[in-house]
Amino acid sequence: MTPARALFLRTIADARIRITAFGLLFFAMPCIQAIAYRDSYPTLAERAQFAQAFARNKALRLFYGVPYDLTDVGGYVSWRIGGILTLFAAFYGALAAIRAFRSDEEAGRYELIAAGAISRSRAFFARAAALLIIVAPLFVGTALGMLAGGLAAVDSMYLALALIGPAAVYAAMGVVACQWLPTTRGALQLAVAVLALDFAIRIVADTTDATWLHWFTPLGWVEEVRPFAGSRPIVLLLFAAATVIVLVPGLILESRRDIGSALLAPSDTVRNPSLRFLRWPVLLALQAQVTSLFIWAAGIAGFGFVVGTISKSVVSGLSENLIEQLEKLGVNATPSGYIGLTFLFFIFAIALFCCSQLAAIREDEAEGRLETLFALPVARARWFAERTALAATIAAVIALLTGLATALGATVVGADVSFVRLLGAGANALPASLLFLGIGALLVAAFPRSGVGLAYGVVIVAFVWEVVGSLLSVPEWVLGVSPFHQVALVPAVPFEPAPPAIMLAIAFVATAAAIVRFRTRDLIGA
């Protein structure tokens, strides 16, 4: 086996869990939306009523973009998943590239690879080729999900190509970010900052008359492709051109810089250093993650505010069929019912945040920082417990901020929803999130190298199972396996204390077992 082939295969193997998790997500979303829309609005008259009610709703465009043909199932699906899955695809592409190009270098392994076994240009192209394979499951998952939802094959593949376009562009951006910043975390934050700017421009274009701004952002190009609504295949060339244009500087910078360095190397001195953060490892971890924590909190709470502002207008356009389905779930077609259902997605987001905290814990171990730390009078069990407690505390803050932001949004539009009950909805999101944190901590302690990926997989599979199982009329006891199914849809229904208490108990036991396992096993590098 040649060195280039070995590096190619290793890059793919490193991403295998992410590939599986995101592939399942991209399969489930279009399949669910197609089936749900066809069942909820079976007649053309009902779809026309839906389109009239929602097509001009600018608040909804914050999430989904501009709709072009809501009377067609494919047009609805491309609008409903286009605005959300493109964000996931872009983040996935950037994360895959940064993991492929920076993690080995940051851990010191790439120096051995580049010491003579393979040239840097060959290594670059081997990893770039691996990124194509890593991104491909998004296309396959989306296309298969559309076909499973009963949509046309050609149009389904066309939409799938449009959705993975941002993944390719942001994979190239991730490669460039690796050249600018010397750490995986810093490069990912830079890529996310660019994605946030892209998203902001797309929002301005969708909510104003400046639709011409679409042509300046990859997220806007997805809308201009217009699957199922007067397709424009030529727009796909923009993704290919942008990927190549961005990737070429990455190749040039990669070949010219020293291994382990970056264009923006960190300064050797810190202006006005805060020494108090060095007195307690958990405070140092908090300081190191302050930017990413702010992004998580602002992003989830911001969407909570948007949900609150659109809660009143959304329920006004629901069909009788969909109202009946909501009643089967135990909620009424009211702003409270819509918000209660939406909080399942917030729980999903907070659970993913908990997984990101587990990734930070694992990163400290993989990069060898814990060996030095534990040589000091720092107990291993205490350190792991404190880091897990930090993740739980921040998750609680995010959950409460989300409830508060949603309450503020509902108050702004005059939705008839109790402010206090919305704060309770935020608190109600925490037990399930902490359950995933405890299970994930146990996975990381028991399986260090694959534990983080398994934790993400558990969250995604549980969420997809809850949504898909509900549509397929799976027996209640089978659906109950997913923690999402045990969450009461507050504020639409009263809070039920028993399920949260059980989830918190399981989370506590799993975390305790994780602490014991971490204390007794050897530290394992990347």
pLDDT at residue number 21 = 84
pLDDT at residue number 303 = 83
- pLDDT score of 457 more than 80: yes
Cα 452 from Cα 439, distance rounded (Å): 11
DSSP 519: H
pLDDT band at 329 (very low <50, low <70, confident <90, very high): low
On whether the CB atoms of residues 130 and 203 are closer than 8 A, the answer is no
Cα 522 from Cα 524, distance rounded (Å): 6
pLDDT digits (tens, 9 = 90+) for 355-406: 989 988 998 888 788 888 887 777 899 999 999 999 999 999 999 999 999 9
Say which range, 30-44, 232-246, 364-378, 501-515, has the weakest mean pLDDT.
364-378
pLDDT band at 269 (very low <50, low <70, confident <90, very high): very low
Say which range, 8-12, 326-330, 341-345, 519-523, has the weakest mean pLDDT.
326-330
pLDDT at residue number 435 = 97
DSSP 28: H
pLDDT digits (tens, 9 = 90+) for 95-127: 999 988 887 777 666 666 666 667 778 888 889
Q: Which two tokens stand for residue 73?
A: 């199932």
Q: What DSSP string runs through 72-88?
A: SHHHHHHHHHHHHHHHH
Mean pLDDT in residue range 335-341: 85
Buried/exposed 246-280: b ≥16 CB within 10 Å, e otherwise: bbeebbebbeebeeeebeeeeeeeeeeeeeeeeee
pLDDT digits (tens, 9 = 90+) for 150-199: 999 988 999 999 999 999 999 999 999 988 888 777 788 788 888 888 88
Cα 466 from Cα 449, distance rounded (Å): 28
pLDDT at residue number 96 = 92
Cα 69 from Cα 55, distance rounded (Å): 9
CA distance to 1, 25, 59, 124, 303, per residue, from 62 (Å): 49, 21, 6, 37, 9
Q: What DSSP string runs through 29-89?
A: HHHHHHHHHHHH--SHHHHHHHHHHHTT-HHHHHHH---S-TTSHHHHHHHHHHHHHHHHH
339: Cβ–Cβ under 8 A, 6 or more apart, which residues? 307, 308, 311, 406, 410, 417, 422, 425, 491, 492
pLDDT at residue number 483 = 93
pLDDT at residue number 270 = 45
Q: Which two tokens stand for residue 290?
A: 């302050």
pLDDT digits (tens, 9 = 90+) for 48-69: 888 877 776 666 776 778 888 8
pLDDT digits (tens, 9 = 90+) for 209-265: 788 889 999 999 999 998 888 888 899 999 999 999 999 998 888 877 777 677 776
